[in-house]
Amino acid sequence: MNQISNLYQKNEKFILGSNNEWLTNLRNKILEKIDDLGPPSKKNEIWKYSNLSHINDTRYEPSNEILKENETLNEENEIDYINGKYHITEKNKKNLNINFKDLGESLIDLKNFFYNENETQLNDFVIDINTIFLSDGLYISTKENKENYLIINYKNNLDYITNYLRNIIKINKNSKLTLVENFNYEKSENNDLNIYNNFILEKDSELEHIIIQNLNLTSRLLYSSHAICETNSKFNQLSCQLGSISAKNRHLSNLIGINSQANHNGIYFGKNKQYIDNKTKVTHKSENCQSNQIYKGILNEESCGVYLSNTLVESQAQKTNGYQLSRGLLLSDKSKLYNKPQLKIYADDVKCSHGSTIGALDNNQLYYLQSRGLSEKDSQKLLIKAFCKDVLKNINDKESLKKIELQIDKWLNKKNDKQYS
Amino acid sequence: MLEIKDLTVSVEDKIILNNFSLKINQGEVHAIMGPNGSGKSTLSNVLCGKDNYKIKKGEIIFKEKNIFELSIDERAKLGLFLAFQYPVELPGVSITPFLKTAINSKLKSLGKKEIDSLEFAKKVREASEYLGISKEMLKRSVNEGFSGGEKKRYEVLQMTLLNPDLTILDETDSGLDIDALKTVSKGVNRLKRKDNSIVVITHYQRLLDYIIPDFVHILVAGKIVRSGDKNLALELEKKGYENII
């Protein structure tokens, strides 16, 4: 029996949905699979450059603390997960346009999301352990024909805890949601977070999803998202990764309805010995769909980045327009970035392209800026910010952009005493 | 204003400037002409502080300071400005905030307060109109997608706003049609004062019809081989480099 099975058996009664028969059966099947296949190996493409110590050191140490009622003072469109437990306030409940339900209480309606129907339950180790150790989650849905804004804050004030969270978010017909997820563990250390979000974009709906991850450098993150985009829907995502000693992000979209669109944008910043691993994949399953996967990384000191992008165009997905771009900026000799763009095209009338570059700051650009009176450090900062610009311009939410720019400034200014050469 | 004494510079062990000396006083316009590979661009880059050049001997005194002790930005703040032969594109660096940052860097180094936004906008508008730079162009990234003429106009716009004591125009005429050449020259001439100086680096006499030099120097193999007044440029145009040395 492997370590994960041991952990599960020891803690089974505390895990969300442990009294649910089909979920227990599913968990047992997954555990058998892990027993058969063993833990992830670098022989598998998606783990090739991964820091497996994080994956192979799976922990289950949830918080037992119960939050006092008055600890969250959020407005109706803002909710918190604190120490791995969601908190819905009276104000949240009064939000008429967004409905929040406990994931555990909604399991009976959500079976499809756990099994492989619509491919929401992916064959992936990270998602498998999320399903096994699920500690909390929400089923969120928007009201049809409405425009909404939702902020989810992930906070911890306890050390050495693990959170396995899952949110299933449904954007109903002709509605629009801007979802901002803030990850900030300022007050705690050595925490592990495994989060899996499912998005269902119904016909004519729109989701702008912004992730601002600024966890401390003792915390580890495994983040997976999967979006299903129906006819005429638009999914626009920005993943901004600044923190965490080891972050593995995987964002996938299935374009199942005609004229649907998925944009995966990302910027990531590495320093010290940070490891930042990103993967995006868009599967075109219908005609006239569009996708963009644009990631940029800025890596300093001994940090390491990985970005795998993938566009899969199925045979029926004619008139597909797919674009991938990965650019990396290495600020030190010891920083590393592995890029791998992939295109798999089975339709014959498509327009797909990809680009990938890795390099240092351009000395001629630095010289030009300095010759106008900007110091070397200020010139470097200006060029790094300019490098991020064409990713950030793809996001409409001005408030989030301001916040991200502020975080980038903080990241750049922390490096004041060290040159980026 | 500027004194270069016995300057010898090499790149990868190849001597580019060889015992080069030049003195420029306030209010003077000097033209440095020379064939390809004579060291013209090396001179401008060494003055501005670009690395990759090995200073083997000599000194450069600008406004009574040894500029080898100053970084690139410190030289710029002291009043040195290079109008680049090939201005680099800076995608994502918006023109207007960049101009403001550059002006404020200089003001800060002089112990002055930052430029007022309204005053800045007025200065930019006035200088842009004079140089035929459209409002749309000012909304773009620095030099990105600019034509040769637009890049040179934009260099002169920066020169206007930074108001340097010594300007080096490095082959500003290259890539310009005759109308753009006139506009750019008009922009430069407008900035000529008794207390500033200009160095015009060029291959051809044609730019000197519009920016009239007080002195013309011919640079060959890293050395000034002849100096004279504006007529030297005319003579050079007629005879060519080979016959005038």
pLDDT tens, position by position, A315-370: 999 999 999 999 999 999 999 999 999 999 999 999 999 999 999 999 999 999 99
Contact B244, B216 (CB under 8 A): no
Nearest chain B alpha carbon to A375: B73
Number of structural domains (chain A) is 1
A78/chain B closest Cα distance in angstroms: 33
Q: Buried b / exposed e across A356-381, counting CB within 10 Å, b at 16+?
A: bebeebeeebbbbbbbbbbbbbbbbb
Interface check for A405 against chain B (CB to CB < 8 A): the answer is no
Least confident among A52-66, A93-107, A382-396? A52-66
C-alpha span between A241 and A221 (Å, rounded):
11
Question: Cβ of B91 and A369 within 8 Å?
Answer: no
In a domain, A113, yes or no: yes
Alpha-carbon distances, residue A140 vs A98, A105, A253 (angstroms): 7, 13, 19
Question: Cβ of B48 and A383 within 8 Å?
Answer: no
Alpha-carbon distances, residue A231 vs A141, A205, A226, A265 (angstroms): 18, 9, 17, 21
Interface check for B20 against chain A (CB to CB < 8 A): the answer is no
Mean pLDDT of A134-153: 94
Question: Cβ of A373 and B73 within 8 Å?
Answer: yes
Is A376 in a helix, a strand, or coil? helix
Under the banding of pLDDT at 50, 70 and 90, the label for residue A119 is low
Question: Cβ of A385 and B50 within 8 Å?
Answer: no
Can you list the positions of beta strands (E) in A256-391? 261-270, 275-284, 290-299, 304-313, 320-330, 336-345, 350-359
Encoded tokens for A359: 């390099």
Nearest by CB to B92, from A362, A374, A387: name it. A387
With 0-12 CB in 10 A as exposed, 13-18 as middle and 19+ as buried, what is A109?
Answer: exposed
pLDDT single digits (tens) B174-196: 878 888 888 888 888 888 888 99
Under the banding of pLDDT at 50, 70 and 90, the label for residue A258 is very high
In a domain, A185, yes or no: yes
Checking if the pLDDT of B237 tops 70, the result is: yes
Checking if the pLDDT of A416 tops 50, the result is: no
Q: Which residues of B touch A364 (CB under 8 A)?
A: 88
Q: Which residues of B touch A388 (CB under 8 A)?
A: 92
Q: Are strands A304-313 and A275-284 parallel, antiparallel or unpaired?
A: parallel
Which are the contacts of A17, defined by CB distance < 8 A and separation ≥ 6?
Answer: A23, A24, A104, A107, A134
Which are the contacts of A323, defined by CB distance < 8 A and separation ≥ 6?
Answer: A291, A292, A293, A294, A352, A353, A354
Checking if the pLDDT of A418 tops 60, the result is: no
Interface check for B141 against chain A (CB to CB < 8 A): the answer is yes
With 0-12 CB in 10 A as exposed, 13-18 as middle and 19+ as buried, what is B82?
Answer: buried
Interface check for A409 against chain B (CB to CB < 8 A): the answer is no
Question: Cβ of A375 and B73 within 8 Å?
Answer: yes
- Interface A-B: count of C-beta contacts within 8 A: 73
C-alpha span between B62 and B79 (Å, rounded):
9
Contact A247, A312 (CB under 8 A): no
Q: Note the pLDDT of residue A46.
A: 75
Q: φ and ψ at A144, to 5 degrees?
A: -55, 145
Checking if the pLDDT of A122 tops 70, the result is: no
B94/chain A closest Cα distance in angstroms: 8
Which are the contacts of B81, defined by CB distance < 8 A and separation ≥ 6?
Answer: A371, B158, B159, B162, B164, B166, B167, B168
Mean pLDDT of A54-82: 77
ipTM of the complex: 0.94
Q: Which residues, numbered 45 to 64 in chain B, qualify as contacts with chain A under a Cβ-Cβ cut-off of 8 Å?
A: 48-50
Strand partners, A88: none
Mean pLDDT of A397-406: 96
Q: Are strands A78-82 and A85-87 parallel, antiparallel or unpaired?
A: antiparallel
Percent of chain A with pLDDT over 70: 95
Q: Note the pLDDT of residue A350.
A: 96
What radius of gyration, in Å, describes the C-alpha atoms of chain B?
Answer: 18
Encoded tokens for B227: 């100096």
Q: Which element (helix H / strand E) includes B180?
A: helix B178-190
A373/chain B closest Cα distance in angstroms: 4
Measured from the Cβ of residue B146, the count of other Cβ atoms closer than 10 Å reads 17
Sign of the torsion angle spanned by Cα atoms A68, A71, A74, A77: negative
Interface check for A370 against chain B (CB to CB < 8 A): the answer is yes
Checking if the pLDDT of A185 tops 80, the result is: no
Question: Cβ of B71 and A385 within 8 Å?
Answer: no
Interface check for A385 against chain B (CB to CB < 8 A): the answer is yes
Domain that holds residue A131: 3-361
In a domain, A285, yes or no: yes
Question: Cβ of A362 and B88 within 8 Å?
Answer: yes
Pick the residue of B46, B72, B98, B108 with the most A CBs within 10 A to test the interface with A by mutation: B72
Interface check for B245 against chain A (CB to CB < 8 A): the answer is no
Nearest chain A alpha carbon to B87: A368
Contact A128, A87 (CB under 8 A): no
Q: φ and ψ at A33, to 5 degrees?
A: -60, -45
Nearest chain A alpha carbon to B51: A367
Mean pLDDT of A254-261: 97
Question: Cβ of A386 and B71 within 8 Å?
Answer: no
Q: Note the pLDDT of residue A66.
A: 65
Q: Note the pLDDT of residue B181.
A: 84
Pick the residue of B48, B71, B73 with the most A CBs within 10 A to test the interface with A by mutation: B73
Q: Which element (helix H / strand E) includes A10?
A: helix A3-11
pLDDT single digits (tens) A277-326: 999 999 999 999 999 999 999 999 999 999 999 999 999 999 999 999 99
CA dihedral A407, A410, A411, A414 (to 10 degrees): -170
Sign of the torsion angle spanned by Cα atoms A361, A365, A370, A372: negative
Least confident among A100-104, A120-124, B137-141? A120-124
Nearest by CB to A372, from B91, B102, B141: name it. B102
What mean pLDDT value characterizes chain B? Answer: 90
In a domain, A57, yes or no: yes
Which are the contacts of A396, defined by CB distance < 8 A and separation ≥ 6?
Answer: A178, A208, A236
Least confident among A68-77, A234-243, A398-407? A68-77
Q: Note the pLDDT of residue A417.
A: 38
Nearest by CB to A370, from B73, B91, B141: name it. B73
C-alpha span between A380 and A366 (Å, rounded):
7
Q: Which residues of A touch B77 (CB under 8 A)?
A: 373
Which are the contacts of A234, defined by CB distance < 8 A and separation ≥ 6?
Answer: A201, A205, A206, A207, A260, A261, A263
Contact B193, B165 (CB under 8 A): no
Nearest chain A alpha carbon to B101: A374
Interface check for B114 against chain A (CB to CB < 8 A): the answer is no
Can you list the positions of beta strands (E) in A143-289? 147-155, 162-171, 176-183, 192-201, 206-213, 220-229, 234-241, 246-255, 261-270, 275-284
Nearest by CB to A373, from B50, B77, B88: name it. B77
Mean pLDDT of A102-112: 89
Q: Note the pLDDT of residue A1.
A: 57
Q: Note the pLDDT of residue A118.
A: 56
In a domain, A289, yes or no: yes
Under the banding of pLDDT at 50, 70 and 90, the label for residue B101 is very high
Is A373 in a helix, a strand, or coil? coil
Question: Tokens 């952990």 appear where?
Answer: A7
In a domain, A407, yes or no: no
Mean pLDDT of B221-240: 86
Percent of chain B with pLDDT over 70: 100
Q: Which residues, numbered 18 to 57 in chain A, qualify as contacts with chain B under a Cβ-Cβ cut-off of 8 Å?
A: none
Question: Cβ of B102 and A368 within 8 Å?
Answer: no
Question: Cβ of A372 and B76 within 8 Å?
Answer: yes
pLDDT single digits (tens) B4-58: 999 999 998 899 999 999 999 999 999 999 888 889 989 999 999 998 899 999 9
- Domains, chain B, in order of start with CATH, read 2-40+50-213+221-244 (3.40.50.300)
Least confident among A58-72, A211-225, A274-288, A319-333? A58-72
Is A72 in a helix, a strand, or coil? coil
In a domain, A301, yes or no: yes
pLDDT single digits (tens) B123-158: 999 999 988 888 888 999 999 988 888 888 899 899
B236/chain A closest Cα distance in angstroms: 32
Q: Which residues of B touch A371 (CB under 8 A)?
A: 48-49, 72-73, 76, 81-82, 84
